[in-house]
Structure formats: C-alpha cells, structure tokens
Homo-oligomer: A and B are copies of this chain.
Amino acid sequence: MKYCDLILDNATIVTLDQDDRILTQHALIINENKIIDIIESTQAQKSYQAKEVYNLKNKILLPGFINMHTHIPMSYFKGLADDLPLQTWLEDYIWPNEAKHISKDFVYHASVHGIAELIKNGVTQFNDMYFIPEQTAKACIDTGIRANIGDIGLDFPMGDFHQPKSSFEQINILKEKFKDQQTLTFTLAPHAIYTCCKETLKKCRDIAQKENALIHIHLSETAFEVEQCIKEHNLKPIEYLNKIGLLCDRLTIAHGVHVDEKEMELLKKHNVSVCINTESNLKLASGFAPIKKYLEYEINLCIGTDSVASNNNLSIFDEMSLTAKLHKALNQDPTILPASDVLKMATLNAARALGAEDKFGSIEIGKIADLITLDTASIEAQPYYNPYSLIVYTLNTSAVSNVIIDGKFVLKEKQFLTINESKIIVNAKEYKLEV
C-alpha cells in the first residue's frame, strides 16, 4: 500500500497522451503536485491510501486549458467600446483609459477578476502581457493559478506606471522577487513591431537569450501592420523579426493573421509557435488566420482569448468551437480541424509553446496535476457519443465543475476555494470607468 495526496476516482479520462487514450472507470493518483499513477478504479483504493478520494462519476477529466494570449488586468475594460477598428479602439478608447485609470490596485483587483473568469472557464495556466506585472503575479499567488507573465514593452510612456524601454529589465527583478513561486514564469513581452522600435526589439532579443526567457509578442494582427512594416523595413513582419534575430522556439506570436508561406517557412525553421485568437480577430475585423496553411507547415498552434476588451469573454470553449467550425467553412472542407485537434491546441500545443510539454498539456504519469472536470450529467451534455465532440462543439463554461492547479483544488463543485466571488463583483462595480 502506497500513500498519496489525492485519488480522482471513477473518471472518464481524456488523456491527450500520444495514443490519444480515453480511459473509462479509471483513477488518477496525485501526490504533491504530480500525477504519479493512472490505474483502473477497481485497483485504486487497493493500491493507494489517499488523504482525499474524490469521485468523478458523470464527469470527464482532462488537462486544464492553457490560454496563450491574455491581458488579464483589462477586466474592467470589458465591453467599454465595441464594433470599432483596432487602431481607433486602441488609440481612442483603450490607451487613453489605461493612461488615466491604471494603478497598482486597479491591476491587482482586475487581475483577480480576470483570473476568476479564467478558472470558471477551466483555464489552469495563462500567458499574459500587461503593465505592473508584479500585481498580476500577486493575484496569481493569491488565487492559485499558474501563469507566464510579461511586462508589456512599449516605446512610449503610459501614466506614471510605464516608462519606455524599461520593461525588459523587469524580468530579473520579477524573477528574484517571486523566485519561490513554482507556478509563476516571467516572460518578455514586446507589445508589437509598431510600438517597439528595432533597438527595443534587439534589446529584448539579448535579454531573452541571456535569461533563456519566453517571448510573447502581437504580430501580423492586421493587414495595416504588415503594410507599415513593408513600407518601413522592406520586410514582412516575420522576416523583420528574423533579421533582428528574435525568431526562436521560445517565441509565441499572438494573432499571426496575415502571414505568407515564405514567413511560415521561417516560423517552422525556428520552431516559433502561433497563438490563434479567433474571436478577437473577427470582432476587430482583423481577418482569418491561415490555419490550414500553418498545419501544412506543421507549425505549432495554440489558442488565446485575447482580452475581454476585444472578445468580450474568456471562454476557451467558444474559441475552440468557433475556430474548429470557421476553418471548415473557410476551406470548404468539414473534415479539417476535427474536435480532437482543436482540443490539443488549447492544451498540449500550448504546453509545447511554453517549452513545458514534459509538465503540462496531457494526463500522463510524471506530469503536473493541472486538471479540470466537465459535468456530463446535464441536459445539454446528454446523450454523448464522443468526448472530443462533446467538449469542443457542445459544452460551454457552465460544464466546468472542478479545477485543480498544481495538485490543489481551486474550484470544487463550482465553488471557488481561493476567491471571494461577491467581493470581486463589488470591486468591479467600484472600478467601473465613468464613460
């Protein structure tokens, strides 16, 4: 008889392992923050003595979603301005309001708010870029979520909280300050090629190399951005980054809507990952990412929601469903992007983009226990024939019943264990902008 912290028993497990196994009547054995065994339910309590046994009857257990492009502290800008083009939306609404309203407290509380939404949506880890990142880091610690956090790099000042070109040095301060937090990683996050000059990007490259840091940048989001890049540098955005030396396997480009095949060759050569943000791209009329082509070039694709200011929610279910369906119609081929492939974009491929495929993204012995459960004992979930189809095409956020991060429950039977929901709602009403 061996000891363990937690047995998740009687589960239907969507493993996403290399054989794509779906196990029924199985138990997941967790000790500390790791999956130490996966065995038949009949054997679980004969083999392991656990501090807690949790029954997952009528639930699907799967790896937690990884939201690969967020600006979590923008929670209070949700629905502030809609039905506008990207540049107007940024320049007339978002940036002026950020300059005016952002503060340490704002970022902390808005982060907690956004994290609560992420957890309700089954997200166990996110990849964020925003100002005052130490406040987002504190919110992550207080709520228990895993995050990759970058101080946003912009060549112009914002309020009293952002000075140009100082962003990248933050990474050392943040790494030192939060060195005991295994659930936090700090990244470099140059905003975009139209807001960071060549010198800034070169500095980012140097620090990234030195620190072996992940890099997260908005790239090729709009046709206008691409045109400007060609005009200014006589290169397409990915060629421009290549020239600077920023392309590497630690880089994730968010959006990648307007990318040609020559650029895809560069992305593949350097193992760059692309984060697809379908809802945001549609809502801002930025366009359609060339997913079919990316798949032909075997480029690693993951999924992000972008911020609630341009989405306007943090639902990975919506992104998966929409992305899967949209690209069938765009390519006049209903067989592309089957449900199982899209689910991997939101889990395993994201882990790969973070250089952490050995730790996250599938349910396998030795991986970290970042897990969610989805209820199947509901009218909308019944009957079901295929769990991938159910997850991607049928269910939504309301199916998420449990969220386990780093081996600990943060949502249990739809109740937050680390978050005071009513306090968040009160705070949101207080921080709501006067418009």
Contact = CB atoms under 8 A, between A and B. Distances in A.
A141 B424 CA distance: 42
Interface residues of A, number: 70
Given A82-B386, A385-B435, A284 B393 contact: no
A334 B283 CA distance: 6
Interface string A377-410: 1111011111001100111111000000000000
Nearest to A115: B379
A435 B325 CA distance: 24
B83 A383 contact: no
Contacts of A283: 324-325, 328, 334, 393
| Identical copies in the complex | 2
A318 B394 CA distance: 11
Interface in A82-100: 82-86, 89
A59 to B, nearest CB: 14
A148 interface: no
Interface string A318-340: 10011011101101111100110
Contact of A333 (B285, B331, B377, B432): B285
30 contacts: A78-B384, A79-B390, A82-B389, A83-B328, A83-B335, A83-B339, A84-B334, A117-B379, A120-B379, A279-B321, A281-B329, A282-B325, A282-B328, A285-B328, A285-B329, A285-B334, A286-B329, A287-B332, A313-B393, A313-B395, A314-B380, A318-B396, A322-B322, A326-B326, A378-B425, A379-B425, A380-B397, A385-B433, A396-B396, A397-B398
Interface of A: 76, 78-80, 82-86, 89, 113, 116-117, 120, 279, 281-288, 308, 311-315, 318, 321-322, 324-326, 328-329, 331-335, 338-339, 377-380, 382-386, 389-390, 393-398, 421, 424-425, 428-429, 431-433, 435
